[in-house]
Structure 1
């Protein structure tokens, strides 16, 4: 299948999910192929739902509820991918007690396809992260962390491709600068590589060598910063040429709809992030036909 021109026609809504959950009906566009991408970020070890009297997220969140929603969406559309944009660890006693084992095991039960690595995923050190890797039945994608001289060498991939209903999807991961954010004794000899340069290299490979129809970045760099010297997702979208969707994390940014930026090839890129603590599940539906692709972006409160 030749790479299709990515035509943006993005619509986003926000739907509140009660304890019983909700099945979202796919938008009908008469397209030949339908791909659904679900995503989370900065869950921070929040396994349980928030109390009903919580000031910010009353009764929201909870992995059990998310699992039910993901299952219903997969029944609706088997051509579904589920990703996480990092900071899986740290935030509740579950992490303090189990060190990340529970988080990885439960994500595996939900059949996540891939995740990238956030700065808090180093909170038990790089050895602590390695110790939990056997519990993860999904891929870790990170292209700009060089783990060559660490115990994590060989545990991650820069990118991976997926085929759903004949649509080839290339997914790569990017992480935030660890120096100044994480104590070096935790990440040790992990080498940070320029994410913009790495992104352009990887996306070119995914487009020209892998012949992907859709290219997705899982980023834990942050949505946007006033400091122009900090790397962020909006700037990444502007500097890349072939990436279609950036799924972000780190800044806990609640977006009602995906942001659209224009890339270096004068094409539009979707940038999305769904807050934190598992209270939202991101959903973006792509519809492919001979004329191109359209997308519907949905933010769901779990």
Structure 2
């Protein structure tokens, strides 16, 4: 499928925008396939909803409310891919007591299909992380953490391809640099690889070799850093690469009410989204594929 451009709509509007010279009326008459991407990031062990008297997030979030929302969306949409951008661990006593077991079991029950690794996944050390892999019934993706000399090596893949009604979706993961952020003894012999070089190789494989229709990056690099303009982040990753269609971000707890459009290295448009933290929001991006290799994209953040 040839390279496509993306446009976003506002949170208040559900109007679709036609791309590539395709009008909305003609789009309706074509055979289309719809793919719904749902995503979270930085849930940080917030299993329960916030108390109703919480000053900032009264009654918001919680696995039960998220599960109901996901179930409803899946009833209404046949092709759904549920993803996470890391830091599902650490933040409440649930992690202190269960060490990540409960988080991974609940993510599995909710139907997550892939996640990447956040820095807080190392809070009980790499051995503590590895001990929880038995509870993860979804794929752990990290292309720029080299685990070959660690206990995590058997559990992590750089990318995964998902087939949804004939739509071939390639997903790969990226993690933030651990040095200076996480104690070396916690991640041991894990080697951090350059995210831009890694992404270039990932999209070569996913676009050129595997011929994926859509390429998604699960990024725990952070959305942007105002005080560190040269630090790699989602905005810079988009700018320095090509052929990534959607970057689902994490780490900086950035609340975006809808995806941001960035230009890549060849002046094509990339969608970037991040939905804050603590499971308060669920990100949603709908892609409509027509039989003429054009796409319509529609994204927003949904309050849980």
TM-score by length of 2: 0.93
Partner of 1:231: 232
Who is 2:268 aligned against? 267
- SS of equivalent to 2:169: strand
CA contact (8 A) 2:41 2:85 kept: yes
2 CA distance for matches of 1:71 and 1:11? 24
Partner of 1:18: none
1:137 aligns with 2:137: yes
State whether structure 2 residue 76 is matched by structure 1 residue 76.
yes
How far apart in 1 are the matches of 2:263 and 2:236? 10
Mapped to 2, the partners of 1:4 and 1:139 lie a distance apart of 27
Unaligned runs of 5+ in 2: 18-23
Deviation at 1:50, TM superposition (A): 0.4
Distance 1:176 1:11, change over 3 A: same
SS in 2 for 1:71: helix
Q: What is the Cα deviation at residue 5 of structure 1?
A: 3.2
Residue number in structure 2 paired with 1:279: 280
1:222 and 1:251 in contact (8 A); partners too: yes
Structure 2 counterpart of 1:296: 298
Number of matched residues? 292
Q: After the TM superposition, which segments of 4 or more aligned residues of structure 1 sit over 2 Å from their partners?
A: 24-31
Task: Give the match's secondary structure for 1:278.
Answer: coil
SS at match of 2:153: coil
Q: 1, 8, 13: which one pairs with 1:10?
A: 8
1:208 aligned counterpart, secondary structure: helix
Q: Distance in 2 between matches of 1:25 and 1:173?
A: 31
Aligned to 1:39: 39
DSSP 3-state at the match of 2:42: coil
User: Greater shift after overlay, 76-85 or 3-12?
Assistant: 3-12
Contact kept? 1:45, 1:103, Cα under 8 Å:
yes
Residues 42, 86 of structure 2: 8 Å contact kept? yes
Distance 2:106 2:179 in 1: 30
Cα RMSD for the two superposed structures: 1.7
Aligned to 1:94: 94
Provide the rounded CA distance (Å) in 1 between the counterparts of 2:179 and 2:269: 32
Instruction: Measure the CA separation in 1 of the matches of 2:243 and 2:169.
Output: 12
TM-score (norm 1): 0.93
What's the counterpart of residue 185 of structure 1?
Answer: 185
1:188-221 superposed Cα distances (whole Å, 9 cap, x missing partner): 1100000010001101110000000100000000
CA–CA separation in structure 2 for the residues paired with 1:9 and 1:25: 11
User: 2-side partners of 1:129 and 1:268: how far apart?
Assistant: 36
Distance 1:292 1:25 in 2: 17
CA distance in 1, matches of 2:240, 2:4: 17
Q: Judging changes above 3 Å, is the alpha-carbon distance between structure 1 residues 180 and 193 closer, same or farther for their aligned structure 2 residues? A: same
Quote the Cα distance in structure 2 between the aligned partners of 1:245 and 1:80.
15
Determine the structure 2 residue equivalent to 1:20: none
In 2: Cα distance, 1:296 partner to 1:288 partner: 12
Between the aligned partners of 2:187 and 2:273, the Cα distance in structure 1 is 27
Q: In structure 2, what is the Cα distance between the partners aligned to 1:158 and 1:266?
A: 26
Q: Distance in 2 between matches of 1:145 and 1:122?
A: 12
* 2-structure distance, mates of 1:46, 1:12: 28
How many angstroms apart in 2 are the aligned matches of 1:216 and 1:115? 12
C-alpha distance in structure 1 between counterparts of 2:125 and 2:47, whole Å = 22
Using the alignment, how far apart are the partners of 2:56 and 2:188 within structure 1?
36
